[in-house]
Each structure stands twice: as C-alpha cells, then as structure tokens.
C-alpha cells in the first residue's frame, strides 16, 4: 500500500525524491519504493526524513515504532504540567508566540485571554506575511455545543456565545489576510489546543470548571513520539468538520 502520508509530507515541504535520496545517501528508487510500495526505511533514515518533512515518525510510519518506545517518548514530550491554565507563565506564552515561524493552530471556544495581548493580532498577521500558516478554529456562537458548554460551566444563558462574539471582533483585521484561515466548529471541545510550530499548550477541560481553571500541558514534539501527534490529528479532524467563520 502506498504511503500517502509520506508523499504528502514531502510535497508539502517541496522535497523531491532526488533531494531526499541525496540527503540520505540512498538510491532514488529506494525513496520511491518507500512511497509507492509503502516500504519502511531503516530507523536512521526514518529519523532524518521525519526531520526534513517536519512530521513525526509515528505519523509517517504508524507501525514502525515499538509500543514501549512510543510510551517512553510520549512521556518525554511533556515539558511541563500546570494545575490551571492561568498558572502558565506569561513568559512561556510570549516565547511560543514570538518564536513560531511556520505553524500556528488554535482550537478554542473564545480564548479571550489571547487577544488581551496588545500585539497578538498584529503578530499573527506578520507571521502570515512571512509565510507561516495560521489556522484558527472558534466555537460557533450559534451552535449548540457552545450553548451546552456555557450551561456546564454555569456561566449563565448566552454568556459563552457572547464571549465568542466579543473575541471574534478582535480578529476582524485578519479577515482576507493571505495565510490566515478562520473557521467555526460545533464539536465537543474536549481540549483547547494552542500549537506554535513544534510546541503546544493543551488546556484540558473539566466538567463544571472554566478553561482558565483546568489543568494544562506544555508539549514539545519528538520524532518518535505519539502524544503531540494525537492532539495534532485531533485538531485536523475538527478543522475538516468546521465551516468558514463569518466575522
């Protein structure tokens, strides 16, 4: 079976078979077989390809990494655990936002705390202009999932939809900006996801608690890891179910 994930990752990064073969000191036909016949490269080659394609080994070759190693690596992907999202140091948010140059992906309901940062919207626009891919998924303020979450968090009728609309007003300068996409989702938000290149903040959600008071994880992607990739694929699934945002 062809390895479509590998094919897509190489194309997405502008990598040709010849370039990959040269970087790995292998025959170009070998690289072609890895794609067209789904052959699995040696570990040393997998690691280098994953780095070149900016993907994890477990994403490109799901069955190639032993379960024991995947479990160990997943634990190593956890940089820090915070008892509440509002316990995350401002300096960490600053570094993640400032250093991101290729990918910013955010899955939230409103995340008003982000736009409280004076330069956040301008920073996103500047990153998009420099070639970064910005994808922002907000809770649909007219959707039943946002209304239900507002009830569960005991916020009062209409409070969370209003909070989403309030946050969206700050994002209007990004409408039509090349490299920035915004969508509405109507899915159950099990976690808020904030991805900045190869690092993530995962704000878990606990029934009856507002997001700011729920635990959060700081993750850093590792090539053979599975944890970062799990949340990345979750974002992708929600994104594909979402509709263009009307702001």
Give residue-wise pLDDT tens across range 62-89.
Answer: 777 666 666 666 678 999 999 999 999 9
Question: Please, are residues 195 and 106 in contact by the beta-carbon 8 Å criterion?
Answer: yes
- Residue 38 — pLDDT band, cuts 50, 70, 90? confident
Nearest Cα residue to 36 out of 64, 3, 9, 78: 3
Between CA 68 and CA 43 the distance in angstroms is 16
Residue 165 CB burial class (10 angstroms; 0-12, 13-18, ≥19):
middle
> What domains are there in the chain, each with its CATH number?
4-64 (1.10.260.40), 73-244 (3.30.870.10)
Query: Which of 16 and 152 is assigned the larger pLDDT?
Result: 16
Q: Give per-residue pLDDT as tens, 183-241.
A: 999 999 999 999 999 999 999 998 888 888 999 999 998 876 788 989 999 999 999 99
Considering the chain, what percentage of its residues have pLDDT values greater than 90? 57
Between CA 51 and CA 220 the distance in angstroms is 14
Number of Cα atoms under 13 Å in the Cβ half of residue 96: 21
Q: Is the pLDDT of residue 157 over 80?
A: no
Between CA 69 and CA 57 the distance in angstroms is 12
Q: Is the pLDDT of residue 172 over 80?
A: yes
- Average the pLDDT over 123-147 and give the result: 94
> How does the average pLDDT of the chain come out, rounded?
89
| Coil, helix or strand at residue 28 | helix
């Amino acid at each position: 079976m062809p390895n479509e994930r590998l094919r897509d990752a190489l194309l997405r990064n502008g990598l040709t078979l010849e370039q990959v073969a040269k970087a790995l000191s292998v025959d170009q036909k070998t690289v072609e077989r890895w794609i067209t016949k789904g052959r699995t490269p040696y570990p040393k080659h997998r690691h280098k390809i994953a780095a070149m394609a900016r993907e994890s080994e477990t994403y490109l070759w799901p069955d190639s990494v032993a379960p024991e190693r995947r479990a160990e690596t997943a634990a190593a992907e956890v940089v820090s655990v915070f008892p509440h999202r509002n316990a995350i140091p401002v300096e960490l948010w600053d570094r993640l936002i400032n250093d991101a140059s290729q990918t910013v992906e955010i899955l939230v309901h409103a995340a008003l705390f982000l736009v409280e940062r004076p330069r956040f919207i301008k920073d996103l626009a500047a990153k998009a202009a420099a070639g970064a891919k910005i994808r922002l998924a907000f809770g649909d303020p007219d959707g039943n999932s946002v209304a239900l979450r507002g009830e569960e968090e005991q916020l009062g009728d209409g409070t969370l939809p209003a909070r989403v609309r309030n946050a969206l007003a700050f994002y209007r300068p990004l409408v039509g900006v090349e490299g920035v996409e915004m969508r509405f989702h109507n899915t159950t938000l099990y976690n808020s996801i904030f991805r900045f290149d190869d690092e993530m903040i995962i704000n878990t959600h606990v029934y009856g608690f507002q997001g700011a008071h729920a635990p959060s994880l700081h993750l850093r992607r590792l090539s053979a890891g599975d944890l970062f990739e799990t949340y990345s694929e979750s974002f992708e699934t929600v994104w594909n179910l979402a509709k263009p945002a009307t702001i």
